[in-house]
Amino acid sequence: MDPRPGRRLTDWRWLIRYAVTNPKQALVYGAIAGVVIAVVTASFAIEAIPEWIGALVAGLALIAIAQKSIQRARLLWAANKQSTGSVTDGVVGVSGEAVAADDRRLTSKHMDKDCLAYESTSTRRTNQGQGSTSTKSVYQNVLPFFVDDGSGKVLVDASKGTVTLTPDQTDSSGSKNVKEGVIREGDRVSVYGEVERTSPETLEDESATSDAKTVITTGSKYGDVVVTDRSAKRVLAGQIVYGLAWIGIGGILIGIAIGSATGLVSIL
């Protein structure tokens, strides 16, 4: 799964899982972070390097990070709503009941519910002197499953996608707050992604058993397949706001860098 709003970036266990399952993307993100840290540090430590270089590189990096959210927004915008029994090639959106692809089930992180997919968010607040800090950890997992709207079933492989669910349960105890949403067999779900004509053996999860030849999954053109129990408009709005927020902050840093380079503003 790809990182969504920075909340996952503080969870080292999720980062390790992400690097193992998405080595190419992890290498890209790692390279961006490494370059930014190196340039920003050098710009403040080495007098020969202007400070505005660090601001410029950081701004460009934030805009690069925003591309994933913009890509998901493009996917949702471009998806052609279709019936599950007659999906055609291209970018599609389907809605219907979730149906298990085999006998396996996941156990959700906090509620211990048998499910086909889950998204759990744990927030822990720590008091530090006169202030406090909060740390969020996000866990999500999803099995291959079918979606059926009554016209036929289509297989979904979201092993390299994004799951965004409405919390079924919120539990607060002391400094810890937990929210968790799950997809169980029979739940209504919507999926947006690219269609592939394939066989079960080519799936990321080779243990999925099915005779399906059509799979909705992560593609090369629009990226992440999106699995959600929310409306497309709500998910689309969230991705646009998140992407524009990163672009806005990045734009401010680039503006400061340009202003500093031309002598209009001073970083220090």
Report the phi/psi class of residue 214: left, alpha or beta, with left for phi > 0 and alpha for psi in -120 to 50. beta
pLDDT digits over 128-168, tens only?
Answer: 555 555 566 777 889 999 999 999 999 999 888 888 888 87
pLDDT digits over 183-193, tens only?
Answer: 999 999 999 98
pTM for this prediction = 0.67
Q: To the nearest 10°, the Cα dihedral for 45, 47, 49, 52?
A: 80
Of 210, 191, 192, give the one whose Cα is nearest residue 202.
Answer: 210
- pLDDT tens over the chain, length 268 residues: 443 444 455 556 666 766 665 565 666 667 667 766 776 677 667 666 677 787 788 888 888 877 777 877 888 888 889 899 888 888 899 999 999 999 999 998 888 889 999 988 877 776 655 555 556 677 788 999 999 999 999 999 988 888 888 887 676 666 677 888 899 999 999 999 888 876 555 445 544 444 456 788 887 777 778 888 888 777 778 778 878 888 898 888 888 888 887 877 665 5
Q: Side chain identity at 80, as an amino acid letter? A: N
Distance in angstroms (rounded) separating the CA atoms of residues 168 and 145: 20
Show me where the domains of the chain are located.
Answer: 6-261
Q: Which residue has the tokens 């979904």?
A: 156
Q: How many residues does the chain have?
A: 268
Distance in angstroms (rounded) separating the CA atoms of residues 123 and 14: 15
